[in-house]
Structure 1
Amino acid sequence: MARTKSNVLVGAPNVKVGGGFFIGDVIDDEEKFPTDATTELDKSFNAAPGGYMSEDGLVKTTDRSTEKIKDWNGDIILVVTSDHSVTLKFTCMESANAAVLKMIYGEDNVTINGESVKIVETSDDLPHISLDFLMLGGQGKAVRAFSPDTQVTSVGDVSFVRAGVISYEVEAEVFDVFGDGRKLWQLMDPVKAADDGDGENGGAEGNE
């Protein structure tokens, strides 16, 4: 079988669009979901750029537990999925980004007044959000990972040091928004000319 280099892709952020990822509302209308890897999210998501992420990028972990069903003779006749989960891990580097802060502390616990930020850390359940990651895969391809219903479940230790930026290592659970098992949408398409190449991060915008 021939090897095809155009099928070998990377996961570089598309920094020309919000730094590479967006945080938005949960929308359970599939007609408003992205249908390709390059089109902007529907305005109903109220998506805001998440800005800079660390060089570790986006890590997707899929856990699947199965149960083997045996007959009277001890032969395996069926394998069924007993548990399935998808988690996303990434590190946000914009510690004053309103969308990021509301994602990890909760909408009611973050107050933005001009350039001033007030955060109250509480035991409240964290909000459900949508996450949209836009990447350039090389070989003329764009790559997208879209989760319509996501919730941050843990945030790593936050260090306040002179030699490093304040950052948030996030782990988020991806939910089945329709109740039919579908959780994460991944799309690959030819990249648009306007999205090709490097650009400046737009993550500082939309932080009102």
Structure 2
Amino acid sequence: MAATDHVLIGAPERSNDPGVVGYGYALPLSAPLPTTTTAALDVLAEDLGFISEDGLTISTDRTVETIKDWNLDDVRALLTEHGSTVSFTLINWSIAALRAFFGTENVTETAEEIVVRINARAIGDRAWVFNMKDMDRKRRVVIPRGALTSQGDITLVKGEQTPLEIELTPLVDDAGEKIYIYTQKAAGTAPMWEAETTYAIGAVVVLSTGPELKATTAGTSDVAEPEAPLYVGQTVNDGTVTWERIS
């Protein structure tokens, strides 16, 4: 794998289904969620339509409190708060987009009209999925439970679109996670390193930290993953295997 294969862009992936944009979807909390970049979405997923050129913004806020010793040196850092937000702007007024902005409970339709109600009632949480693609590599952001916490102003002006600016606060799922980001590996990517595995000379593996290693001496790997050498060309021993860092 070339080093440049890790440089990815956040372009949206357009759906091949007629009438479906495919950039983003909202789902009820009861719907199963995808755990890969290629898994099909549940039939209850609602296509949100076009998202503005600003794309998708994921922000994370970590508040850390330090503990000082007698000498007033920082000796420990404690995470006291953690929060994330996801923001994007919809540029169409489809039923799904309006439900995403105003809440499913506040949007209804008749044979001739769409009715939106603005009120002080709570808006239910939903799951959210966003699809991206860089050349032939897919990327996907999955929010298992996202609460609508901020809505942009609705400005009705002649000659301009009426965007729907949305900010979500991801809440923890049953596993304690807030956001999942899945990225396809480049074609020909080496397999991940495995413990207590026999490797032949020339075998290539990828460490969990990202570097690629090539076996220069055959053998069996250790129970714990080796630490990658600092520079390409340097070697590290792993059980009875000797690896050379190649990227």
User: Which category of TM-score, normalised to the shorter sequence, fits these structures?
Assistant: 0.7 to 0.9
Give the gaps of 5 or more residues in structure 2: 188-247
Partner of residue 173, structure 2: 177
Deviations 1:23-82 (A, max 9, x none): 11124x9xx432211222244xx2110001111111111111111112233232211111
Map 1:139-150 to 2 at 5 A: 140-150=136-146
Calculate the aligned-residue CA RMSD, in Å.
Answer: 2.2
Q: Indicate if the aligned counterparts of 1:66 and 1:83 stay in contact, CA closer than 8 A.
A: yes
Q: Indicate if the aligned counterparts of 1:142 and 1:188 stay in contact, CA closer than 8 A.
A: yes
**Alpha-carbon distance between aligned partners in 1 of 2:139 and 2:186, rounded to the nearest angstrom:** 9
What SS is found at the alignment partner of 1:101? helix
Deviations 1:152-175 (A, max 9, x none): 111111121222112101111111
Partner of residue 11, structure 1: 10
Q: Indicate if the aligned counterparts of 2:5 and 2:186 stay in contact, CA closer than 8 A.
A: no
Partner of residue 25, structure 1: 28
**Alpha-carbon distance between aligned partners in 2 of 1:109 and 1:48, rounded to the nearest angstrom:** 16
Partner of residue 55, structure 2: 57
- Superposition TM-score, scaled by structure 1 size: 0.80
Q: CA deviation at 1:179?
A: 6.5
| Displacement over 4 Å in runs of 4+ | none
Number of corresponding residues: 183
**Alpha-carbon distance between aligned partners in 1 of 2:150 and 2:96, rounded to the nearest angstrom:** 17
Q: Indicate if the aligned counterparts of 1:50 and 1:100 stay in contact, CA closer than 8 A.
A: yes
Q: Indicate if the aligned counterparts of 1:105 and 1:122 stay in contact, CA closer than 8 A.
A: no
**Alpha-carbon distance between aligned partners in 1 of 2:24 and 2:160, rounded to the nearest angstrom:** 22
Give the gaps of 5 or more residues in structure 1: 193-208
Q: Indicate if the aligned counterparts of 1:109 and 1:120 stay in contact, CA closer than 8 A.
A: yes
- Superposition TM-score, scaled by structure 2 size: 0.68
CA radius of gyration, larger in: 2
Amino acid at match of 2:45: A
**Alpha-carbon distance between aligned partners in 2 of 1:41 and 1:191, rounded to the nearest angstrom:** 23
The percentage of aligned residue pairs carrying the same residue is 27
Q: Indicate if the aligned counterparts of 1:61 and 1:88 stay in contact, CA closer than 8 A.
A: yes
Map 1:25-174 to 2 at 5 A: 25-27=28-30, 32-43=32-43, 46-95=44-93, 97-138=94-135, 140-174=136-170
**Alpha-carbon distance between aligned partners in 2 of 1:137 and 1:115, rounded to the nearest angstrom:** 40
Partner of residue 186, structure 1: 181
Q: Indicate if the aligned counterparts of 1:59 and 1:88 stay in contact, CA closer than 8 A.
A: yes
What SS is found at the alignment partner of 2:184? strand
Amino acid at match of 2:183: M
**Alpha-carbon distance between aligned partners in 2 of 1:133 and 1:101, rounded to the nearest angstrom:** 17
Measured at CA, do residues 115 and 79 of structure 1 come closer, stay the same or move farther in structure 2, by a change above 3 Å?
A: farther
Greater relative contact order (Cα 8 A, min sep 6): structure 1 or 2? 1
What SS is found at the alignment partner of 1:6? helix
Higher percent of residues as helix: 1
Deviations 1:166-207 (A, max 9, x none): 210111111112273x10000001599xxxxxxxxxxxxxxx
